[in-house]
Amino acid sequence: MTLVEELIRIQPPVVALLLLLGAAAKAADRSGAGGPVRLLPGALQRPASAATALLEAVLGAVLLLTAGTAGTAAGWAAAVLFGGAAVLLAVVRRRDPQMGCGCFGGLSTEPVGWRTIARAAVLAAAASGAAVAGGGGLQVLLGLTGTQAALGAVELGVLVALSPELREAALRVLGREPCALRPVPVRRTLARLHTSDVWRANQVVVEGRGPVDVWRHGCWRLLRFSGHRNGRPVDAVFAVEVRGRRPRVRAAVSDAETGVTLAVLGEVAAEGGAPLPRTQGGAPQATGTVVPTGARVVDGPRVPRARHGGAGKKDPDGRAGEEGADGRPSGANAESGAGPVRPT
């Protein structure tokens, strides 16, 4: 048997595999990534998508399970399906350049490109081969020779190279999108903040039950609290990274009246707001001075509680503190997840 004959022989299982995968993906994620069905009127799009998935499943099953006339007919039908898809995808690409092909349901959000169109053309040729072979994909798989396996692997490699969906599937399965794009509830950010050392070290200056302003900057969420420090009103601003269970947290305390930054990450600035230690990128350098030296007990009566203006004990930085009855982070309002700031 020549290589061409071997190649034709393995087409039924290869085409059946692609047809069944396409049908399964369409059935699993019907969010609709687009494709040729988008050329139809709105009311017909969903039924057409379902009918396509059903047709693919039937053709795949016939190519896999039956040989002879039925297998040949299924092969030619698949060739027409893929050939028509290649033409229609070119039309979709011209009409709506941002539309996905919908070949694998919601996984096909990548705009239709030449790779997708080429894949449909390759599959049309493969389906023609499956028609010539007369179906019977399961029998071929059971009697697979080494040459056929190698040829099948090469063909699948070509199809993989022409499939942008694999990258999308890998991104979905292996990792999430970058933190800068990920919506994160304010409630979760507050929870992360309240369990951080930076919060515990600066909690004494914070008053009020929730942040007075919340905003987002890419991978960071910033929360501004009002408070008092050494009898003067201050703004305590915390930056919390929105990724991970123990994210990086930074804090800055600035005088509410003069705007002078008094401390960043617990580092006390010189009189008049002299420059703080910075990295080359301009970000504040972590000094490590924020880690509280006392017991790290979150619950229970021995946790220091903020009492601004009171006569409590003072720590070496001049922060007021007192042994309180309740050391829980002040997040009752914040737990609602509703920041008080809304756009104009």
Partner 1 sequence: MSVDVQERRKFTAALLGDEAAPPPSDPSPQVVRGVALHVTAHMLTVATPKGEERFLFERTTAFWRGRDVGPQEIRVGDDVLVRCGGGGRWVVDRLWAQLGRITGTIVSADGDTVVVDPGHGRPPATAVIPYRSSGRMSVRHPVLEPGYLFDAVGVREGGTVQTTVPATTQPPHPVSRAPRRPPVRRVPRALSGIVSWYDPAYGRAAHTDPRAHAPGAAYPALDPGSDCGPDCDRSDPCLPLPLLSLGATVGVRNDDTGVAGVFPVLNCASAASRFCDRCRDGTGDASGRLAELTLPAFVALGGRPEAGCFAATMEAG
**Contact characters 147-186, partner 1, x per CB under 8 A:** -----------------x---x--xx--x-xx-xxxxxxx
Query: What is the token pair recorded at 198?
Result: 């930076």
Other CB atoms closer than 10 Å to residue 62's CB: what's the count? 22
Residue 244's alpha-carbon distances to 55, 64, 227, 238, in angstroms, are 44, 46, 28, 17
Residue 239 in contact with partner 1, rule: CB under 8 A = yes
Closer to partner 1 by Cβ: residue 149 or 283:
283
Q: Which of 72, 109, 148, 196 binds partner 1 (CB under 8 A)?
A: 109
Residue 266 in contact with partner 1, rule: CB under 8 A = no
Q: How far is the CB of 220 from partner 1 (least distance, A)?
A: 6
Which residue, 216, 205, 213, is CA-closest to 242? 216
Residue 235 in contact with partner 1, rule: CB under 8 A = yes
Residue 30 in contact with partner 1, rule: CB under 8 A = no
Q: Which of 3, 44, 283, 297 binds partner 1 (CB under 8 A)?
A: 283
Q: Which of 62, 78, 133, 251 binds partner 1 (CB under 8 A)?
A: 251
- Tallying the residues shown for the chain, one arrives at 344
Which residue, 298, 97, 111, is CA-closest to 203? 298
| Axis crossing angle, helix 11-28 with helix 42-65, rounded to the nearest 10 | 140
Number of residues interacting with partner 1: please give it, by CB under 8 A: 67
> Burial code of 265-283, b = ≥16 C-beta within 10 A, e = fewer?
bbbebeeeeeebeeeeeee
Stretch that binds partner 1, among 53-61, 83-91, 219-227, 292-300 (CB under 8 A): 219-227
Task: State the residue for tokens 């050391």.
Answer: 327
Q: How far is the CB of 42 from partner 1 (least distance, A)?
A: 7
Residue 37 in contact with partner 1, rule: CB under 8 A = no
Residue 198 in contact with partner 1, rule: CB under 8 A = no
Residues 6+ apart with CB under 8 A from 100: 33, 34, 35, 108, 109, 110, 111, 112
Closer to partner 1 by Cβ: residue 217 or 246:
217
Residue 33 in contact with partner 1, rule: CB under 8 A = yes
Residue 259 in contact with partner 1, rule: CB under 8 A = yes
Q: Which of 1, 4, 95, 300 binds partner 1 (CB under 8 A)?
A: 95
Residue 40 in contact with partner 1, rule: CB under 8 A = no
Closer to partner 1 by Cβ: residue 92 or 130:
92
172 near 104, Cβ under 8 Å? no
Stretch that binds partner 1, among 8-16, 27-35, 308-316, 318-326 (CB under 8 A): 27-35
Q: Which of 58, 222, 268, 286 binds partner 1 (CB under 8 A)?
A: 222
Task: Tell me which residues touch partner 1 (CB under 8 A).
Answer: 31-34, 38, 42, 45, 95-100, 106, 109-111, 164, 168, 171-172, 175, 177-178, 180-186, 189, 213-222, 224, 235, 237, 239, 250-252, 254, 259, 261, 264, 278-279, 281-284, 337-344
